[in-house]
Amino acid sequence: MKRREFCRTTLAASVAAAYPFMMNAALAQTSVAAVSLDGGEIELEKAAIREFAQQLNGPLLMPGDDQYDYARRVWNGMHDRRPALIARCANTEDVRQAVAFAADRQLLLSVRGGGHSWPGKSVCDGGLMLDLATMNTVTADPATRRAYAQGGALLNGLDTAALQHGLVTTAGVVSHTGVGGFTLGGGFGRLNRKYGLTIDNLVSAELVTADGELRTVSAEQNEDLFWAIRGGGGNFGVATKFEYQLHPFDRNVLSGMILWSIDQAREVLDFYGEWYAGLSDDLYIGPAMFTMPDGTSVIAMEVVYAGDPAAGEKELAPLRKIGRPMDDSVKIQDYMVMQTQEDGTWGHGVRSYAKNGMVKEITPALIDALIESFVPDPRFAFFTHTSGGAVGRVDELATAFPHRNAETMIAVIGGWMDPAQDDESMAIARAWFKQLQPFVGGYYDNIDFDGANSKGRNYGPAYDRLSVIKAQYDPGNLFRLNRNIKPAV
């Protein structure tokens, strides 16, 4: 698939191409070309745009406005899209107004939380981009062990607010990721074996649904929506606030990386395949394979031990006896060292493509495939997100997240800066992952570019219920720029 084929539709591209020649909102003659939900061309009247802007507390931006090009940028440099309008929402009422404006006009709508959507779903060509970036406050209450995050907050803010009170919840592995899409998709992190996925720690949320109404969802209120948003992604509305359960936590944890040269991959992975099933919930550890900038290829184990460091040292001891490690940085250090170590590698503007899949068991055949498929190129890496533990003890249908029985997630991820490398790089990543495909069942929605969702197979037995809830709260499929769940007929 060529980059242009997944970055924009043909019609949207033609509309977007016209934008550099359009005047800004203040000077537009009568109307602005835009794209409808079904991909057709529509016109937005100048008077309607002006009225919409007056209803907002935050700015409404159009091509030509000073902040437009800044606001439309998202983390992944692969996505260079041009919305007709960008509503930079200052509060929940702005979100309601933006949702109503899009729904009334059947205008294509994208929702940007932290802007970290790997496939670029948070920005659209020719539609309305609803931007939560300034709604980013996070607070923590040590008395109730709760954290409260607005929909545009980042994971760094969630970690920081909780840790200053000696508390924590499961958050992801790149700290400038937004809480919104990350949470709604499930939420893998370095503490999920001990505390469960992020959705397992979600107590409540505030959600603006397609009718413009603000709904509180929890185990006691709008229970069907609460079930659906825990794994069902952004299909059901715009989350403007999250409430999380926090846990006591000593931020000085045994953590770091152990590296071996790639020629020891067989020895390390064979050991890991026998060893991992008996690990405690406190130990998050999983293999990665990559090539460093100097051309040295390695197999690595990322370690976070969320318990007594002395016990962690004992549990890690067998691994440290395997092969000849070229580096071992595992030590007692601040948890945020690990939580921010990937931030530079996956910094804003990198062009990135990812494929992933869920694995129930690390078998000898999978280990063979991991070794044989490895590509020694600094642009690419193989990663895992270790699951099991507390994640697997939640009933399969207790939330909409469909992969409770997976032991790990495996992913092939590429990152580069030159647009001329797009097609070649995506082809390499796809070919690498194709060799791992026979060992996976389903994928993690949050990071996969082009995973198929034919008849909702990735949601398994949860899909039919999700589809019914979608029909109840979003029958027109306004929230469609996601791994979409079709409303039940």
> What CATH class does 138-249 carry?
alpha beta
Q: Is the pTM of this model over 0.85?
A: yes
Identify the pLDDT of residue 457: 85
CATH 3.30.465.10 occupies which residues in the chain?
Answer: 138-249
Half-sphere exposure of residue 413, counting CA atoms within 13 Å on the CB side?
Answer: 23
CATH 3.30.43.10 occupies which residues in the chain?
Answer: 3-131
Instruction: Provide DSSP, 275-297.
Output: HGGG--TTEEEEEEEEE-TTS-E
Q: Token pair of 107, please?
A: 């205008």
Separation CA 300–CA 256 (nearest Å): 10
CATH 3.40.462.20 occupies which residues in the chain?
Answer: 252-439
Identify the pLDDT of residue 20: 35
Q: What is the pLDDT along the chain (489 residues), one digit of tens a residue?
A: 444 333 334 334 443 444 333 334 443 468 999 999 999 999 999 999 999 999 999 999 999 999 999 999 999 999 999 999 999 999 999 999 999 999 999 999 999 999 999 999 999 999 999 999 999 999 999 999 999 999 999 999 999 999 999 999 999 999 999 999 999 999 999 999 999 999 999 999 999 999 999 999 999 999 999 999 999 999 999 999 999 999 999 999 999 999 999 999 999 999 999 999 999 999 999 999 999 999 999 999 999 999 999 999 999 999 999 999 999 999 999 999 999 999 999 999 999 999 999 999 999 999 999 999 999 999 999 999 999 999 999 999 999 999 999 999 999 999 999 999 999 999 999 999 999 999 999 999 888 877 666 567 899 999 999 999 999 999 999 999 999 999 999
Separation CA 104–CA 44 (nearest Å): 11
Break the chain down into helix, strand, coil percent, rounded to 5. Answer: 35, 25, 40
Separation CA 295–CA 454 (nearest Å): 40
Where does 3-131 sit in CATH, by number?
3.30.43.10
Q: Token pair of 310, please?
A: 């002395």
Identify the pLDDT of residue 16: 41
Half-sphere exposure of residue 227, counting CA atoms within 13 Å on the CB side?
Answer: 19
CB 147 within 8 A of CB 162: yes
Closest alpha carbon to 349 in 45, 4, 76, 166: 76
Where does 252-439 sit in CATH, by number?
3.40.462.20
